[in-house]
C-alpha cells in the first residue's frame, strides 16, 4: 500500500492593485482559506498612479495573520512563502529597505517623455532609433513602451523630476521584489520581474544577465539594480521578526516568486506550450507559454521570460477590463454627487450580469470602447480613450451595461487575433480566470465574440494566489509541471453560439474601424 502523503501548504500572497489576497494553498493547488485587505490608489492629474508600500506591507501582514490564526493546526505544515504581485511597478528604497516615496505602479505614465528621449536617434522606425531598437529586440525581446508605463520609465521619471529620490535610492525594486526584501532582507529580482526594465540579455532563458550596454542606453545607474534569481529559487528564510509576527516557523523559506501575469498562467493550469488563458481583472491579458523568443513590435507583443524554468510566455496586456464595470458603477450609475440618492448595492456586479443577460447579443446597436486609461496591446497608444457609440433615444442602462461587457470582449478578440498570428496557430480552447471570469454571462459573451470554446476555471478569482502557491510547491520539489496542469479543475465549458458568429464578426470589424477613424482625434485631445 502506498504511503499517504503528509499535507503541506504554502503561504501565498497575491498583491493586486485593489489590495493583497493572502492564502493557504496546498501543494496540490487547493486554496484552503484566504483573506483580502483593500489598498488605496492615488491617481494624479499628470498621469501619475501611486500606492503606499507601507500600506502594502501592513495589509499583507494583517491578512496573513488572519489566515494563519484561523488554522493553528496547519502552522507546522506551512513549508514556504511565495508572492505574486502587480507587475511594472517601482519602489525606490534606501540601504535599510525603507521606501523613499510612494510606489509608481503599472498605470503611471509620467515617464513617457523620458522614454522618448532614450529611444530617439537619427534614423528611426516608429519613434525608435534603429540601432537601439535592434539591440533591444535581439537581447530582451522587446523595447521600452512609449506609453511610459514600464518600470524603466518610472526610474527615468524619478531621475529627471525627483533627483533627490533617485540619488538616495539604493535599489529600485518591483512590487514583488520589494515584498521579498521585507520578508527576507535580501534585495533581489527574478528573471521575469526585471524584464520591463529592458536591461537584461534574455537569449539564454536559463541564465539571464544584465547587459551593460543596455544599462547605459537606459541611462540608469547599474548599482541601483538588484541581483537576479530564477522565480523558483529560494532567496532566503523569513526574517525572525516577520516569522514571529505571522506566527510561522523561523527559517521558513521564501521563494523568489513571480509577477501576476506569470502566476495567473500557472494558476489557470495552462502551463503546457501554447495552452492559452484569458485573465479578466482590473486589467486583462491573453497569453500562453512558448518555447521560443520572438517579438512583434507592430502589435506590442513579445515572448518574455516566464516563471517556468526554460520557458517564455507571450506578453501583452489590456489596460482596463473589469475597471470598465467599476467605472460604470462609480462614475455613471452611482457617483457621489447631488443626483445620486444612495450608494451602489453590494451585489451590483451580479445585477450587471442580470441586466446584460436581458439584452440581445449586439447590445441593440450600442458599442463601447474600453480604453479608459490608454492602451498597451494590440496598440501602444496612451492617448486613446473610451466611449459609447450609436446611442439613441431608446438606449437603456441595460444596453450600456451589455455594451461594456461586449466592448471588453471585442478588444480582447483584437488581442487574440494578434496572439494567434504571433504563435502561428489557433488557440482553442481558452481558459478564463480572474474576477470577471466569475460572470457566466461574460464567459458566454467571450465565447461568442471569440468564436472559441471558453473553459471557466473553478474559483477563477483565486487563480493568482493559487499560481503563487503552486510555484512555491514547484520550487520546493513538491509538485511537477505536468501535475500542475492536471491540478486545476474547470467549472464550466462555454462553446460559441454559431447564431452569433456573423453579428460579432461585423461588430469586431466596426470596433477596429472606430479606433482607426478616431485615433488622430484622441491624439489631439490627449497629447497635452
Q: What is the pLDDT of residues 451-475, one digit of tens each?
A: 999 999 999 999 999 999 999 999 9
pLDDT surpasses 90 at 518: yes
Q: Cell numbers 503541506 label which residue?
A: 8
Other residues' Cβ atoms within 10 Å of the Cβ of residue 123: 9
The residue count for the chain: 528
Alpha-carbon distance of 442 to 176, in angstroms, equals 30
What integer pLDDT is reported at residue 283 of this predicted model? Answer: 87
Cβ-based neighbour number of residue 440 at 10 Å: 14
**CA distance linking residue 330 with residue 158, whole number of Å:** 32
Pick the closest to residue 156 from 208, 199, 205 (CA basis).
Answer: 199
pLDDT in tens, 42-69: 999 999 999 999 999 999 999 999 999 9
Specify burial of residue 497 (Cβ count, 10 A radius: 0-12, 13-18, 19+): middle
pLDDT band for 195, please (50, 70, 90 cuts).
Answer: very high
Whether 368 and 356 have beta carbons less than 8 Å apart is answered as no
Tell me how far the alpha carbon of residue 247 is from its chain's centroid: 30
The backbone torsions φ and ψ at residue 289, rounded to the nearest 5 degrees and listed phi first, read: -85, 145
Per-residue model confidence (pLDDT) at position 1: 37
Widest CA span of the chain, in angstroms? 73
CA 357 to chain centre: 28
Average pLDDT, the chain: 95
**Helices 397-423 and 348-358, packing angle to 10 deg:** 90
HSE-up of residue 440 (Cα within 13 Å, Cβ side): 8
Domains of the chain: 9-317+461-490 (3.30.420.40), 322-425+498-526 (3.30.420.40)
Measured between alpha carbons, how far is 362 from 455 in angstroms, rounded to an integer? 23
Position 297 pLDDT exceeds 80: no
Over range 265-270, report the average pLDDT: 96
Average pLDDT over residues 149-166: 97
Mean pLDDT over 136-150 rounds to 92
Measured CA to CA in angstroms, residue 158 lies from 40, 116, 145, 453 at distances of 21, 15, 17, 45
Beta carbons within 10 angstroms of residue 243's beta carbon = 17
Q: Helix, strand, coil: what percent of the chain each, to 5?
A: 40, 20, 35
3-state secondary structure at position 477 = coil
pTM for this structure?
0.89
Interval 239-260 mean pLDDT: 97
Task: Compute CA 404 distance to the chain's CA centroid, rounded to the nearest angstrom.
Answer: 20
| Res 177 pLDDT > 80 | yes
Taking alpha carbons only, the member of 441, 366, 356, 362 closest to residue 402 is 356
Helix (H) or strand (E) holding 388: strand 387-389
Q: Which of these, 88, 94, 71, lies nearest to 22 by C-alpha position?
A: 71
For residue 146, the model assigns a pLDDT of 87
Question: Which phi and psi angles does 385 have, rounded to 5°?
Answer: -135, 170
Per-residue model confidence as pLDDT tens digits over 12-33:
999 999 999 999 999 999 999 9
Contact by Cβ (8 Å): 317, 265 = no
Q: What is the mean pLDDT of residues 218-230?
A: 97
Q: Return the SS3 of 340.
A: coil
- CB-based contact 427:450 (threshold 8 Å): no
Say what the pLDDT of residue 336 is: 87
Assign 377 a pLDDT band (cuts: 50, 70, 90).
confident
Amino acid at each position: 500500500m502506498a504511503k499517504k502523503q503528509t499535507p503541506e501548504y504554502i503561504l501565498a500572497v497575491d498583491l493586486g492593485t485593489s489590495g493583497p489576497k493572502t492564502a493557504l494553498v496546498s501543494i496540490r493547488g487547493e486554496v484552503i482559506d484566504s483573506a483580502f485587505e483593500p489598498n488605496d490608489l492615488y491617481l494624479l492629474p499628470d498621469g501619475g498612479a501611486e500606492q503606499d508600500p507601507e500600506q502594502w506591507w501592513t495589509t499583507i501582514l494583517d491578512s496573513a495573520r488572519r489566515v494563519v490564526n484561523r488554522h493553528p493546526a496547519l502552522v507546522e505544515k506551512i513549508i514556504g512563502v511565495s508572492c505574486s504581485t502587480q507587475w511594472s511597478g517601482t519602489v525606490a528604497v534606501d540601504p535599510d529597505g525603507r521606501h523613499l516615496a510612494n510606489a509608481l505602479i503599472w498605470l503611471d505614465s509620467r515617464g513617457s517623455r523620458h522614454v522618448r528621449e532614450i529611444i530617439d536617434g537619427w534614423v528611426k522606425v516608429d519613434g525608435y532609433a534603429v540601432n537601439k531598437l535592434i539591440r533591444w529586440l535581439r537581447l530582451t525581446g522587446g523595447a521600452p513602451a512609449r506609453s511610459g508605463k514600464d518600470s524603466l520609465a518610472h526610474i527615468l521619471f524619478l531621475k529627471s523630476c525627483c533627483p533627490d529620490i533617485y540619488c538616495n535610492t539604493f535599489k529600485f525594486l518591483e512590487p514583488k521584489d520589494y515584498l521579498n526584501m521585507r520578508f527576507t532582507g535580501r534585495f533581489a529580482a527574478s528573471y521575469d520581474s526585471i524584464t520591463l526594465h529592458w536591461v537584461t540579455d534574455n537569449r539564454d532563458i536559463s541564465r539571464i544577465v544584465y547587459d551593460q550596454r543596455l544599462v547605459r542606453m537606459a541611462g540608469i545607474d547599474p548599482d541601483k539594480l538588484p541581483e537576479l534569481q530564477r522565480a523558483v529559487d529560494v532567496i532566503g528564510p523569513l526574517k525572525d521578526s516577520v516569522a514571529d509576527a505571522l506566527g510561522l516557523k523561523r527559517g521558513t523559506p521564501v521563494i523568489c516568486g513571480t509577477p501576476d501575469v506569470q502566476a495567473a498562467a500557472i494558476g489557470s493550469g495552462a502551463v503546457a506550450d501554447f495552452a492559452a488563458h484569458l485573465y479578466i481583472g482590473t486589467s486583462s491579458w491573453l497569453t500562453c507559454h512558448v518555447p521560443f523568443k520572438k517579438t512583434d513590435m507592430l502589435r506590442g507583443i513579445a515572448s518574455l521570460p516566464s516563471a517556468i524554468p526554460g520557458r517564455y510566455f507571450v506578453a501583452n496586456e489590456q489596460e482596463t477590463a473589469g475597471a470598465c464595470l467599476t467605472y460604470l458603477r462609480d462614475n455613471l450609475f452611482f457617483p457621489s454627487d447631488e443626483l445620486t440618492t444612495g450608494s451602489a448595492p453590494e451585489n451590483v456586479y451580479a445585477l450587471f450580469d442580470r441586466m446584460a443577460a436581458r439584452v440581445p447579443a449586439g447590445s441593440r446597436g450600442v458599442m463601447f470602447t474600453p480604453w479608459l486609461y490608454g492602451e498597451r496591446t494590440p496598440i501602444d497608444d496612451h492617448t486613446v480613450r473610451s466611449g459609447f457609440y450609436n446611442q439613441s433615444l431608446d438606449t437603456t442602462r441595460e444596453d450600456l451595461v451589455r455594451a461594456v461587457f461586449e466592448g471588453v470582449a471585442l478588444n480582447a478578440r483584437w488581442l487574440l487575433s494578434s496572439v494567434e498570428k504571433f504563435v502561428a496557430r489557433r488557440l482553442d480552447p481558452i481558459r478564463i480566470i480572474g474576477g470577471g471570469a466569475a460572470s457566466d454571462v461574460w464567459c458566454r459573451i467571450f465565447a461568442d465574440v471569440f468564436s472559441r470554446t471558453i473553459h471557466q476555471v473553478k474559483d477563477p478569482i483565486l487563480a493568482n494566489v493559487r499560481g503563487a502557491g503552486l510555484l512555491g510547491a514547484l520550487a520546493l520539489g513538491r509538485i511537477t509541471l505536468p501535475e500542475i496542469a492536471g491540478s486545476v479543475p474547470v467549472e464550466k465549458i462555454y462553446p460559441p453560439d454559431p447564431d452569433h458568429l456573423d453579428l460579432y464578426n461585423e461588430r469586431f470589424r466596426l470596433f477596429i474601424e472606430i479606433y482607426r477613424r478616431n485615433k488622430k482625434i484622441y491624439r489631439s485631445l490627449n497629447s497635452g
